[in-house]
Amino acid sequence: MTKILLGPAGSSGLGNEEGLKKCSELGLEAMEVEFTYGVRMKNEEAKRIGELAKKLKISLSVHGPYYINLNSEEKEKISASKKRILDSCERAYYLGAKYVVFHAAYYGKKSREETYKIVKEAILDMQKKISKNKWDVILCPETTGKGKQFGDLDELIKLSKETGCGICIDFAHLKARYNGKIDYDKVCRKVKGIKIKTAHFSGIEYTEAGERRHLITKDSDIKELLSYLKKYEISIRIINESPDTFLDCMKSKKIKEAMKI
């Protein structure tokens, strides 16, 4: 049986605890804690929020800071990127959040093959530190929305197989990355084989260069994605990243229930 958990990215300014309470009131089952502009949460606060999420039976994930590039030309920036990801992992552990999502890298001047090798080595290095600290979390690099960014689906599937990391499939990013041309049959066949996964979705505006900005999600786009997930029996968490996450989550919940998923 297909099981889809729905929830917002962040709390729409309510704060994490109030955001969790609103998720519970609305019957949502997931939420992503956003560290997009820096990891400023203390472990004690993370533990308190995690206990509330557990009480409310809401699945948490974490989104790492935007300022990450594991393929930077500057070693200092790579070190800083790793630290931001590992700081996110530490807070995720205290939150009880399993998935730590982040945009891994830009290709820059390097080839796709060189970039892949560098990102893979960084993932393996961070996994050693996660294991050493006994943090029960999983690194989940995200599919990205621009061709200049590392993170197409095939790259991340290969990375997952070779390192044991998870993947965040951002369906809106995939649409933007390929100028609106998303073959859901092909994507879902690949996604079904990924053992550890979480997902993002929203409306998306894009140009030839890829992602421009997130938009409110059309009902037709929600129905399309859910119908394919149902067809391929893919159980997954879907975190909405639209400008009005709670609105979109409730639309998605209503459509999901009508589709009997």
CA-nearest of 111, 123, 261, 98 to 195 is 98
Rounded CA separation 238/180 (Å): 20
> Is the pTM here over 0.85, yes or no?
yes
Q: Which fold has domain 4-258?
A: TIM Barrel (3.20.20)
Confidence category of residue 156, pLDDT binned at 50, 70, 90: very high
Rounded CA separation 33/196 (Å): 19
pLDDT at position 1 is 82
Residue 208 pLDDT more than 90?
no
Query: Domain coordinates of the chain in residue numbers?
Result: 4-258
CA-nearest of 109, 128, 214, 220 to 170 is 214
CB-based contact 71:120 (threshold 8 Å) = no
Residue 194 pLDDT more than 90?
yes
Confidence category of residue 48, pLDDT binned at 50, 70, 90: very high
